[in-house]
Amino acid sequence: MDKFVSLQRRIAPEIDKLIDIRYSILRHVHFYQPIGRRTLSQQLTVKERTVRSELQFLRRQGFISVSPSGVSLTKEGEDIFHQLGQYVRELREIARLEEMMERLFPARKIVVVAGDSKRDPAVKKDMGRAVVGILREIVREGDTIAAGGGTTMAAVVEAIVPSGWPRNITVVPTRGSLGEDVEIQADSIAVEMAKLLGGTYRVLNVPDNLHPDTISRIMDEPRIKEILDLIRTATIVVHGVGTLEEMVKRRNIPPKEVETLKSLGAVAEMFGYYFDKDGNMVYYSPSMGIRPEDLADKKTISVAGGANKAQALLAVAKRHHLEALVIDEAVALEMIKLQDRGKERWP
């Protein structure tokens, strides 16, 4: 395959772009079918006439069907979509990206998903599917899973097939709610994940941005203390990594506190702890839930996408060992750029 891809690039480099757009369309239809042409154009940020032309080709090849409700993949279309996925990995040298990431992250397994999840929401769904694949490998009977919140974690839940999972699984949130949409709060993610895994759940049902004195008092409540103990003794943790800009919005951080964070050089957030680009913890925002020091004996899966997450991921990588990391191609390439500007060089 490598030799074929190399030959193709030499004799017909323009094919790369054509394959890329057709694969993106097939992937999008796979996850969102039936989907309208205009919606497809908007979500892919591709001109509608281009989408119309490509859909006509895919229909002639028998890969899609078109009905009043929208575009769907045929059985042959599903087959070609999965086959093309491996070819696109070769075309974009995803395996080499994964090898490069292994030099940055002390993780047992690293998965890079082709594409940019900030530009194409179907990429985020692929990332969710990759996380579920890793969970299939590591979840054991009686495990407790601590699940984070956010849109990427919601994609993980959507990818879970509710069959064949070990018994007696308990799912808990990594922390309290952050005032965001109910559907993507850690509590909600934990509940939905538990249902799909056939397990049980415990939730905090407490906002995470309360005054420190209030948090301190609540943590002494017997029910809250019991759940916090369960969260901190979880065997598996699945979470995202936040940038400073994201957490300012999600936690509704006051302007004065934002200025403090910026002056300290904070670039990454995890469980209410903020880190600078060298991985040093520079600030702590009191919260209820898991703490970085609780991760030492856990199987931790981190998932993040988008080039804007590169600096945050590099910061976290300097301090925390991971069981697995799932990222998209965009953030992997941006991390390489950041490394090339620094001391280390890629071979």
Q: What confidence tens digit (pLDDT) does each residue in 235-266 have?
A: 999 998 878 787 777 777 778 888 888 899 88
Residue 345: is its pLDDT beyond 60? no
* Burial of 332: CB neighbours in 10 Å, binned 0-12, 13-18, 19+: buried
How many whole angstroms separate alpha carbon 219 and alpha carbon 88?
A: 49
pLDDT band at 347 (very low <50, low <70, confident <90, very high): very low
Query: CA torsion sign, 183 to 186 to 187 to 191?
Result: positive
Assign residue 189 a region (left: φ > 0; alpha: ψ between -120 and 50; beta: otherwise). Answer: alpha
- Range 297-320 average pLDDT: 87
Average pLDDT (32-48) is 90
Question: 344 or 44: which carries more pLDDT confidence?
Answer: 44
pTM (predicted TM-score) = 0.85
Q: What is the pLDDT of residue 7?
A: 67
More confident residue, 8 or 135: 135
Predicted confidence at residue 180, as pLDDT, reads 58
**Does residue 318 contact residue 268 with C-beta atoms inside 8 Å?**
no
State the average pLDDT over residues 128-147. 96
For residue 140, how far is the Cα from the chain centroid? Answer: 22
Which amino acid is it at 5? V
Q: In DSSP terms, which residues pair with 236 in a beta bridge?
A: 145, 299
| All structural domains of the chain | 2-91 (1.10.10.10), 94-341 (3.40.50.1360)
Supply the pLDDT for residue 223.
85
210: CB partners within 8 A, 6+ apart: 218
